[in-house]
Structure 1
């Protein structure tokens, strides 16, 4: 019976586990929000490996080599509480939502690439072409607007057939920004 009691005996004070969990949670939240790029709705092998390694490293950082289930429950409860609190706050307060979720980024407008946005998001034109093909779009000229959403998916709004036909009869626009 003492072995079962040892399983639930706390090795660290509750506040210790809450502080560890809080610090690691906020560190990872900031890293994922501001440092890592959003990919176009996919996760590659390197991305998956990174997530696994982050999980293992953060687990070791939070655990402090404890062996008690109680300590693990306190740590998990801390992480769940932060996750719930941030979801609740983003739902009720727009500034929190804007801080936690990146705004959608326009990658194509009226058939023209937004190269600055592509560079900022580190998306190649080949990657973008591949994602457009998955949505039945063969050429950039067919796209009215393509946006990289905050969750990494690509939203594509095609031009109407009449818009595509009129584009072929007009001279190409220059890439200068509109006059203000």
Structure 2
């Protein structure tokens, strides 16, 4: 009965391994996982697919042991969380301050369609099928590939589309606004 009410406060709050080792482990694992995820293709085009979710869960499980070396105290967990938050903030801050570094953090837009023609080598690089591309174009109200002036895969995996009539329609909108403003 005494075991139910006994609390080992030292085991809860006192780290069982060096704090510096925790920070180094957390840093190395975070930067390694960041690098791996940065180099993987954006296969799901702006959505979280089942394989992406599986990768995240498996990474989390694998990283937990690599980072913590089987930590047991709350303090160790807090240090690891703080280390991951630190690196996330630092990388975002560096990307904000240094445009060259931002290009490393987020890939530049990748041209997928130019003047109604698919750039197949770019689709292959990102492992996107023509059917998937056409599905994304239809979701943006583009019926025919020939209507697409430019289509880019953005850094987040989404597709942005500029249609052939987008310039003329925006000019027409400006002209109609100007005419309606006249007395």
Q: Which has the larger radius of gyration?
A: 2
Gapped runs of 5+ residues in structure 1? Answer: 164-180
Q: Which residue of 2 aligns with 1:38?
A: 42
Q: Matched residue pairs, number? A: 162
Determine the C-alpha separation between the residues in 1 that align with 2:106 and 2:80.
25
> Shift of the alpha carbon at 1:5?
3.5
Query: In structure 2, what is the Cα distance between the partners aligned to 1:140 and 1:57?
Result: 43
For 2:23, the equivalent position in structure 1 comes to 18
Give the 5 Å matches for 1:1-180: 2-34=7-39, 36-39=40-43, 40-160=45-165
CA distance in 1, matches of 2:167, 2:133: 24
| TM-score w.r.t. length of structure 1 | 0.85
Tell me the distance in 2 between the aligned counterparts of 1:23 and 1:6: 26
Q: For the residues of structure 1 that align with 2:147 and 2:88, how far apart are their CA atoms? A: 40
Question: Is there any run of 5+ residues in structure 2 with no aligned partner, and where?
Answer: 1-5, 169-183
Question: How large is the RMSD of aligned CA atoms in angstroms?
Answer: 1.6
Question: Secondary structure of the equivalent of 2:8?
Answer: helix
How far apart are 1:132 and its partner, in Å?
0.9
